[in-house]
């Protein structure tokens, strides 16, 4: 592995805004990623993950601010062959075999890995002579991953890499990712699975509506989420009746059935009874990952966080 001689930073965003028409896909983002870090960019669809990746790779330019990749402009970093990337569901050429495509990709880089090593790492050795139009969605994802590492890059960028992979493939994929990371590579991947971010990354950036709402280790982020789901029946329930209930971050009413997401279940339950609401069949459960994530990216919730 060659390490960056000029700067320890693999990626640096300074006040980066990217606007598409009236939409601010990224809004004044400042972040820096050091060499050797494994970073997950976590966020719901439309949070700005793909835009951020496009900026790091020079596929798009910032509306304001500046982006540096490996201490240089993104397009020269990509041209130098020190960056490998796997884009979301990017196309693959028709009529070509797996090994042929990887051999071609190798030749684009100054210091590529050996073909056999690439095939082995991506678990593609048995598929080397298979035509690309005859492989499954999960196998195509492995092939895209293989293309990303073919050039033996210092920085690996992966946009939602495990989409379309089955559980087993996903497991071996991340095992290889950890191996790549242990060789000193910087890895940045986008995902909307909190679990993946938590298990694989040293650092998790949570992106929501174009801004970074949390930045820390997976466990630190998880610790910030104490969301619970509270379900009960309440005849004639409406949002107004429940407006005074404490700790609620999300509310879902279907007829008499109510589902609340709360960041303080004790307080919420207490205030339901204190308000004299005739609730029945009350049930408190740990929030699913999705609810936990909503709590984290909810604007009211983040306000509670900062006010604390």
Partner 1 sequence: MTRLGQPLPIALQTVAAFVRLELRRVVRNRRYLIFGVAFPTVFYLLYTGVLSGAAARSDAPVDGTTWGAYFMVSMATYGAIVAALGGANLIAQDRASGWTRQLHVTPMRPVAYVLGKLIVSYVVTVPAVGGVLLVALAVNHVDLPPATWLEVLTVLALGALPFAALGLLIGYVFGPDGAQGAVILSFLALGVLGGLWAPISSFPESVATIGRVLPSYDLAELGREAVRGAAVDPAVVLALAAYAAVISALVGWRYRAAERRSDG
Kindly state whether residue 81 participates in binding partner 1, applying the rule CB under 8 A. yes
Per CB under 8 A, 217 contacts partner 1: no
Closest approach, Cβ 86 to partner 1, in A, equals: 9
Contact partners, residue 199, CB within 8 Å, separation at least 6 = 174, 218
Q: How many residues bind partner 1 (CB under 8 A)?
A: 37
The token pair at 48 is 């700005």
Closer Cβ to partner 1, 83 or 292, answer by number: 83
Residue 159 CB, nearest approach to partner 1 (Å): 10
Q: Does 144 bind partner 1 (CB under 8 A)?
A: yes
Binding of partner 1 at residue 95 (CB under 8 A)?
Answer: yes
| 8 Å CB contact between 50 and 159 | yes
CA–CA distance, 92 with 105 (Å, rounded to integer): 12
- Give yes or no for residue 57 binding partner 1 (CB under 8 A): yes
Comparing CB distances to partner 1, the nearer of 150 and 237 is 150
CA-to-CA dists, residue 16 to 11, 32, 91, 110, 305, angstroms = 12, 12, 28, 31, 24
Q: Does 192 bind partner 1 (CB under 8 A)?
A: no
- Write b or e for each residue in 108-129: b if 16 or more Cβ atoms lie within 10 A of its Cβ, otherwise e: ebeebbebeebbebbbbeebee
Residue 247 binding partner 1, by CB under 8 A: no
Q: Which stretch binds partner 1 (CB under 8 A): 9-17, 95-103, 114-122, 175-183?
A: 95-103
Would you say 57 or 227 has its CB closer to partner 1?
57
Gap between the Cα atoms of 177 and 66, Å rounded: 29
Residue 104 binding partner 1, by CB under 8 A: yes
Distances (CA, A) of 174 to 1, 156, 227: 20, 13, 28
Residues 7-46 that bind partner 1 (CB under 8 A): 20
Question: Residue 94, interface with partner 1 (CB under 8 A)?
Answer: yes
Per rule CB under 8 A, is residue 147 in the interface with partner 1?
yes
- Nearer residue to partner 1 within complex by CB, 62 or 218: 62
Contact between residue 295 and residue 225 where contact means Cβ atoms under 8 Å apart = yes
* 127 near partner 1 (CB under 8 A): no
Instruction: Starting at the earlier edge strand, list the strands of the sheet with 9-20.
Output: 23-34, 9-20, 64-69
Q: Please say which residue, 151 or 218, places its beta carbon nearer to partner 1.
A: 151
Q: Is 90 in the site for partner 1 (CB under 8 A)?
A: yes
Question: Can you read off the two tokens belonging to residue 118?
Answer: 């690439």
Residue owning tokens 């048995």: 126
CB-based contacts of 177, cutoff 8 Å, min separation 6 = 38, 187, 189, 200
Looking at residue 192, what DSSP letter applies?
A: S
Q: Which is nearer to partner 1, 39 or 292 (CB)?
A: 39
Answer yes or no whether residue 136 interacts with partner 1 by CB under 8 A: no
Which stretches of the chain bind partner 1, using CB under 8 A? 20, 54, 57, 59-61, 73, 75-76, 78-81, 83, 85, 87, 89-96, 100-101, 103-105, 107-110, 144, 147, 151, 157
């Amino acid at each position: 592995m060659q390490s960056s001689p000029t700067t320890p930073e693999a990626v640096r965003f300074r006040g980066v805004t990217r606007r598409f028409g009236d939409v601010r896909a990224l809004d004044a983002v400042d972040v820096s990623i050091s060499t050797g870090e494994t970073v997950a960019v976590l966020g719901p669809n439309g949070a700005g993950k793909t835009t951020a990746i496009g900026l790091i790779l020079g596929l798009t330019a910032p509306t304001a601010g500046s982006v540096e990749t490996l201490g240089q402009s993104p397009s020269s970093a990509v041209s130098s062959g020190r960056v490998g990337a796997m884009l979301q569901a990017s196309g693959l050429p028709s009529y070509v075999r797996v090994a042929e495509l990887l051999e071609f990709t190798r030749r684009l880089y100054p210091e590529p890995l050996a073909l056999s090593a690439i095939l082995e790492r991506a678990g593609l050795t048995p598929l080397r002579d298979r035509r690309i139009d005859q492989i499954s969605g999960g196998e195509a994802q492995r092939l895209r991953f293989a293309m990303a590492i073919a050039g033996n890059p210092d920085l690996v960028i992966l946009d939602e890499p495990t989409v379309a992979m089955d559980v087993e493939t996903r497991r071996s994929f991340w095992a290889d990712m950890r191996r790549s990371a242990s060789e000193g590579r910087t890895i940045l991947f986008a995902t909307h699975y909190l679990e993946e971010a938590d298990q694989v990354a040293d650092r998790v950036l949570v992106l929501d509506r174009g801004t970074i709402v949390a930045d820390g280790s997976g466990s630190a982020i998880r610790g910030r989420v104490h969301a619970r789901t509270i379900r009960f029946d309440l005849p004639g329930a409406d949002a107004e009746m429940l407006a005074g209930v404490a700790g609620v971050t999300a509310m879902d009413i279907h007829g008499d059935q109510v589902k609340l997401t709360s960041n303080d279940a004790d307080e919420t339950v207490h205030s339901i009874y204190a308000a004299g609401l005739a609730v029945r069949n009350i049930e408190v459960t740990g929030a699913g990952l999705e609810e936990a994530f909503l709590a984290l990216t909810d604007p009211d919730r983040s306000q509670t966080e900062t006010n604390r």
